[in-house]
Structure 1
């Protein structure tokens, strides 16, 4: 598998992470893309550039306007510009899958998403383990009680999973499919009146002896929004009592790798001083009965904006002095 031209931030210390952020936001593919949309980024310090990139991407690449991802509009780009967008996304590690950098991890963490992703990512995690591509002590599948849309519920019902009403349900079904119906051990929490404050944890034992957790996390701002990726990661880290001796591998879709990796560095890597790697599943792999959605230039631009916002939040969270 190819490696991205632009490496993501990594390391356990503020200066290491800060260097990676600067390399990414000043990379040639991102600069080329910004200028193709008539942007002229400043040459100032990283905080100034991140602020500028956040504002620029909000004006030019925000096609969601507060809506869920499937409801984002698709921009009308000429073919040459559309090709440039996909090339830049590929250079930034958002198109092709990449192998896990380490052979062994304390934790393999699957990040939730839309219904097809819930099935495909859990299936990919099971394949990594069963084919010996990585060894892990424990698997965690992270989501929330976000209600599934009618389209998601219909898609799951069409493949024999009509009982799924929430993201938690879809993740639980996905892990049971991917890991061959493991033995259920425990249940805690549950869905209450407000899905933003509800939580749950269900544990399983895989036949290879690996413990599996599926979690629904509460929102960090329940009066404002549902739980997001960082909320699920914080909730999980508290449940497992993560330490600096626990390398973590996150599994998501390639398009989300940069932003979810930086969220993980901010919520897991820096607070717990643990190594964090993030990989995207192979979009062409035969993993689940639901296919991978077709990605468009507009989707890539939207998630490059997500990566910028996540880099900015990570940069602001660095210890004093490291942020510059």
Structure 2
């Protein structure tokens, strides 16, 4: 950490995965560098953990996954429900400027340009209504140059929208882009409407499966593919994915990317650029490596939308949000490590 008036850290690279992949030893080394770097150490000490980081990387990861329950401000709620209050662990206040500085060094604040010249597929990871608009806007901006990916895929699920999200969709003008006969009920409806608005897809798509109507457990089991071939700049596909464990939870990012991959084969010549919100880039990079990169040996880069690149204002992230998503990285790293150990 540099000794300036406010905390600042040297940048720590998010693990990379080029086309063809990297040896497991190289992947794990980059994981340990992120986990054991100065930003994470500073946050751990501020949380009262000290720094019990083991010289054994696997033991270090286990310790972090155990201790980071202190940073679970979500508590099984939607991410948007995390309060904007200061982050407190026990009786310790985590300084806002420390959390933001660490998050910036860890690649969670400022967007960078992905390797578009190598990209063969562009995938947008869906989420809350306003985030979808910003991510799709960012994806559309990636297609303005040459070369550009010939296919755009948006992965989503049948999560029921909150009343606030339905209101946001109406305010953003998405309701008029709903497919005929649909209501703004699920995340899938919002994503389809936002994709149609972004690429001005006025025609009806080819549909395989059935869009869910919401409720009745559909948010965990619904599956559908909607495709608009030959759009203005690319084919556009929306993939509504089911949960891999419907008895326990709805579909997560890993389920969505895996479902897409199993029906859209990738090769070591492909490079997938996935778009999310910048705060989620580090942990979703690990998820994408697990779901796409390791099974298909294709290249994977997760790119983000930051405040400067957003088309519409969304939630301002604070210390609680950043600690929550650093925790997500720890847990995703543990999943990836188990995959590597299992061969």
TM-score clears 0.5 = yes
Q: Separation in 1 of the partners of 2:162 and 2:220?
A: 16
Partner of residue 298, structure 2: 274
Q: Separation in 2 of the partners of 1:304 and 1:263?
A: 14
Give yes or no for contact 2:11–2:106 (8 Å, CA) kept in 1: yes
Q: Separation in 1 of the partners of 2:299 and 2:285?
A: 11
**What per-residue deviation string (whole Å, max 9, x for no partner) do you get for residues 253-283 of structure 1?**
1100011110001111111111101110132
Deviates more, 1:9-18 or 1:215-224: 9-18
Q: Separation in 2 of the partners of 1:71 and 1:250?
A: 25
Picking from 154, 159, 164, the partner of 1:151 is 164
**What per-residue deviation string (whole Å, max 9, x for no partner) do you get for residues 216-259 of structure 1?**
10001001111000000001111211222111101001100011
Give yes or no for contact 2:109–2:279 (8 Å, CA) kept in 1: yes
Partner of residue 250, structure 2: 226
Partner of residue 9, structure 1: 15
DSSP 3-state at the match of 2:149: strand
Cα RMSD over matched residues? 2.0
Q: Separation in 2 of the partners of 1:168 and 1:320?
A: 34
Q: Separation in 2 of the partners of 1:52 and 1:282?
A: 31
Partner of residue 304, structure 1: 326
Partner of residue 93, structure 1: 107
Picking from 167, 192, 198, the partner of 2:187 is 167
Q: Separation in 2 of the partners of 1:237 and 1:230?
A: 11
Residue 237 of structure 2 is aligned to residue 217 of structure 1: no
The equivalences for 1:251-262 within 5 A come to 251-262=275-286
DSSP 3-state at the match of 1:279: strand
Q: Separation in 1 of the partners of 2:230 and 2:44?
A: 46
Partner of residue 4, structure 2: none
Partner of residue 53, structure 1: 64
Give yes or no for contact 2:74–2:82 (8 Å, CA) kept in 1: yes
DSSP 3-state at the match of 1:141: strand
Q: By how many angstroms is 1:21 displaced?
A: 0.6
Q: By how many angstroms is 1:47 displaced?
A: 1.4
Change (3 A) 1:80 1:195: closer
Change (3 A) 1:70 1:286: closer
Give yes or no for contact 2:199–2:232 (8 Å, CA) kept in 1: no
TM-score by length of 2: 0.86
Q: By how many angstroms is 1:137 displaced?
A: 2.2
**What per-residue deviation string (whole Å, max 9, x for no partner) do you get for residues 269-323 of structure 1?**
1111111011101322352xx42211111111111111111111111111458xx
**What are structure 2's unaligned runs of at least 5 residues?**
1-9, 176-182
Give yes or no for contact 1:233–1:267 (8 Å, CA) kept in 2: yes
Q: Separation in 2 of the partners of 1:303 and 1:286?
A: 20
Give yes or no for contact 2:109–2:306 (8 Å, CA) kept in 1: no
Give yes or no for contact 2:138–2:310 (8 Å, CA) kept in 1: no
Picking from 219, 240, 265, the partner of 2:264 is 240
Partner of residue 150, structure 2: 137
**What are structure 1's unaligned runs of at least 5 residues?**
none
Residue 313 of structure 2 is aligned to residue 291 of structure 1: yes
Q: By how many angstroms is 1:104 displaced?
A: 3.0
**Number of residue pairs matched?**
314
Deviates more, 1:199-208 or 1:109-118: 199-208
Change (3 A) 1:24 1:195: same
Picking from 114, 119, 136, the partner of 1:122 is 136
